[in-house]
């Protein structure tokens, strides 16, 4: 239940003389007219003139606020509690430094109130409480405290970037910098929504990686929002999230390609129409290309490729591979090739597992097949490899969760 709004009290010690208090927590409260301070006797029958000799009475109601006034390291996972003895609470307001009210619940007997909204770490709060005793005399309490900041935190690094336009195969992928043990709590704090609407489900690949996708590829033009509400979520014992933000991206045109490595061709389909067919080189028999649906996760006009980084010794070290687009974390790319003879494209599988299109050294010719395919592509496009002779790629190897059946994908959700 939400606490009423703060009263506007005039400066000085007699602010509680105002004759009307806001309704307590949404419920009607019988209010007493007042013409003296909070420690005065209400409704006394004294006349209007001359000096009266009566002594003002003080309310016997005693209010306690927890966390107490001045606390600087209050537990942000615990509620604010307000209690009264020898009286009933008539108003409780809790707000953060921006003025945002914290909702709470009053007990049936009016003796206690507890916040129901969560508190945030590293935040200052103020509490104002009013109670009346059996004689309708008011007592009040004011407190200010700050919550502690967690000593141990985690964050999630997300793909794709905010504001980006991506291909139809782009999942939402979040990699956490620390292992998550309470997967349910963390997943419940993350939502992915799309317009037009579609069911989107999360799948945990490991304690540090959570991906989201729909059952089928996104429809072109879909607008997707990732909502991270991880601040103060306990992902593991004593380890709390810090992020609270939205990430928006748009799905562009629909482009998927099929690399048939028995025919050594790459066929590109854009918005339902075949737009290009290129001769390619696939993986050699001893270094077959992964089969399955592989999503472009990175694009590099030129990049260095060194066989020592993928466990192949000193078989190659090429400092300027042109028009390179990553398909797996383990090192599979679809890229330009200037060192093989033109006759090898469309007729030979001789690579170390990558898919190669004809290119020139320096990546300076926009008319080559590799340059044209690169220019037509974006991250999130799907390259499906068939007839490679190798097994289907591990769904966790890159952004390649599309190689998992929908039922299996949903089985990896924690909610």
Return the active site residues: 335, 354
The SS3 of residue 370 is helix
What's the rounded Cα separation, in Å, for the pair 314 and 337? 19
Exposure string (b/e) for 1-29, b if CB count within 10 Å is 16 or more? eebbeeeeeeeeebebbeeebbebbeeeb
The token pair that represents 74 in the structure block:
């209050």
- Given a contact cutoff of 8 angstroms between Cβ atoms, the answer to whether 30 and 41 are in contact is no
Q: Tell me: cis bond preceding 67? Omega within 30 of 0 counts.
A: yes
Angle, CA 413 vertex, CA 218 and CA 326 arms, to 5°: 50
What's the rounded Cα separation, in Å, for the pair 24 and 29? 6
What's the rounded Cα separation, in Å, for the pair 32 and 19? 7
* Pairing of β 349-351 and β 282-283: parallel
Beta strands in 58-152 (DSSP E): 62-66, 81-85, 88-96, 104-106, 112-115, 124-132, 138-146
**Closest to 414 measured CA to CA, from 136, 190, 214:** 190
- Given a contact cutoff of 8 angstroms between Cβ atoms, the answer to whether 265 and 281 are in contact is no
Task: Scan for tokens 């033009």, then name that residue.
Answer: 221
Residue 96 burial (CB count, 10 A): 16
Q: Tell me, what DSSP letter sits at residue 60? A: -
* Pairing of β 244-251 and β 165-166: parallel
């Amino acid at each position: 239940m939400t606490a009423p709004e703060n009263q506007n009290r005039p400066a000085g010690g007699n602010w509680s003389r105002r004759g009307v208090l806001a309704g307590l927590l949404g419920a009607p409260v019988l209010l007493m007219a007042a013409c003296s301070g909070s420690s005065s006797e209400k409704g006394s029958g004294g006349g209007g003139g001359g000096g009266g000799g009566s002594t003002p009475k003080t309310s016997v109601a005693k209010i306690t606020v927890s966390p107490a006034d001045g606390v600087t390291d209050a537990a942000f996972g615990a509620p604010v509690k307000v209690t009264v003895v020898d009286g009933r609470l008539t108003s409780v307001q809790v707000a953060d430094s921006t003025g945002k009210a914290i909702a709470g619940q009053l007990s049936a007997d009016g003796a206690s109130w507890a916040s129901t909204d969560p508190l945030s770490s590293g935040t200052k709060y103020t509490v104002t409480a009013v109670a009346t005793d059996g004689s309708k005399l008011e007592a009040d309490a004011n407190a200010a405290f700050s919550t502690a900041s967690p000593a141990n935190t985690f964050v999630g690094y997300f793909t794709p970037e905010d504001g980006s336009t991506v291909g139809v195969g782009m999942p939402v992928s979040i990699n956490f910098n620390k292992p998550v043990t309470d997967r349910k709590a963390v997943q419940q704090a993350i939502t992915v929504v799309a317009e037009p609407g579609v069911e989107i489900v999360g799948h945990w690949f490991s304690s540090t990686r959570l991906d989201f996708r729909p059952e089928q590829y996104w429809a072109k033009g879909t607008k997707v929002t990732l909502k991270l509400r991880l601040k103060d979520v306990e992902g593991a014992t004593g380890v709390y999230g810090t992020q609270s933000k939205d990430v928006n991206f748009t799905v562009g045109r629909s482009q998927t390609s099929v690399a048939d490595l028995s025919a050594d061709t790459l066929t590109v389909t854009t918005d339902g129409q075949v737009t290009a067919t290129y001769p390619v080189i696939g993986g050699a028999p001893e270094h077959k290309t992964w089969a399955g649906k592989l999503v472009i996760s990175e694009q590099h006009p030129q990049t260095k490729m060194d066989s020592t980084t993928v466990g192949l010794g000193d078989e190659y070290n090429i400092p300027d591979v042109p028009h390179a687009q990553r398909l797996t974390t383990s090192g599979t790319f679809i890229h330009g090739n200037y060192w093989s003879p033109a006759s090898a494209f469309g007729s030979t599988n001789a690579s170390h597992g990558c898919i190669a299109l004809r290119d020139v050294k320096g990546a300076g010719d926009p008319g080559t097949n590799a340059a044209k395919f690169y220019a037509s592509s974006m991250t999130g496009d799907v390259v499906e490899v068939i007839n490679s002779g190798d097994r289907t790629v591990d769904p966790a190897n890159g952004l390649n969760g599309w190689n998992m059946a929908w039922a299996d994908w949903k089985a990896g959700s924690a909610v």
